[in-house]
Amino acid sequence: MTTSLLLFLFFLPLVKPDSDPVQDYCVPDTGSSPVELTKLSSYPCKNPTNVTAGDFVFSGILSPGNFSAETGFAGISVNPVQFPGLNTLGMSFARADFQPGGVNPPHYHPRATETALVLSGKVYSGFVDSTGRVHARVIEKGEVMVFPKGMVHFQLNVGKSMATIYGSFNSQNPGLIRLPMTVFGSGIRDAVLEKAFGLTEEELEKLKKRFEPKDLVVDD
């Protein structure tokens, strides 16, 4: 047996995908406390005899969320915190609503592929692959677009009426990295951003004021 084959067999168990659940479901039993995403693995499952159909029904996306005055976008993300019945099922979902001209700024999900189904309206939708190529087109009611895991993607309502999209993810915790906020609102040193983007101090300050959260804590 060659050395390379031995190494492959040694590392194979380390790169296998997540194991499938060993039970039908696991609705977390937190007592009277709310579910915390970082503690999901520590919660016991509800006794199946105490689980009801209501544990598997969620009504929190019947209406749009709160619209941003800047972007005209409203998003509601749903994971096991909001809908405990999703726990261990390897999925989550979101509702996105767009006012005319509304935009979901460039962002990506580090731990999930997303499918986006247009429920109403016309949305210019796309992603950028690792070669820098943009894959984008207008999608309409009934059409679905897929955004591969870790790819930067975006959506813009190009119609004259409201638009709504239902997004689903193949992870119960897909993560969300918003590019403008991450770059200009996370506390990266000014010298780095000025050099990287060719910005003056005044231009950078305007961007920081727009995207920097008020409660930002910077670790130097």
Q: Which of 3-17, 30-44, 76-90 has the lowest mean pLDDT?
A: 3-17
87: annotated binding-site residue?
A: no
pLDDT grade for 9, boundaries at 50, 70 and 90? very low
| Confidence check: pLDDT of 12 > 50 | no
To the nearest whole number, what is the mean pLDDT of the chain? 89
Residue 123's beta-bridge partner residues? 139, 157
Q: Mean per-residue pLDDT for 97-113? A: 97
| Confidence check: pLDDT of 98 > 60 | yes
Q: Which of 1-5, 31-35, 42-46, 89-93 has the lowest mean pLDDT?
A: 1-5
Q: For the chain, what is the radius of gyration of the CA atoms?
A: 21
Distance CA 121, CA 141 (A): 6
Helix (H) or strand (E) run with residue 147 in it: strand 144-147
Q: Which of 17-26, 32-41, 58-67, 166-175 has the lowest mean pLDDT?
A: 17-26
**Confidence at residue 20, expressed as pLDDT on a 0 to 100 scale:** 67
135: annotated binding-site residue?
A: no
| Confidence check: pLDDT of 133 > 70 | yes
Per DSSP, the residues of 82-123 read T-GGGTTSS-EEEEEEE-TT-EEEEEE-TT--EEEEEEESEE
104: annotated binding-site residue?
A: yes
Q: 18-58, pLDDT tens digit by residue?
A: 456 678 999 999 988 889 988 988 999 999 999 999 999 99
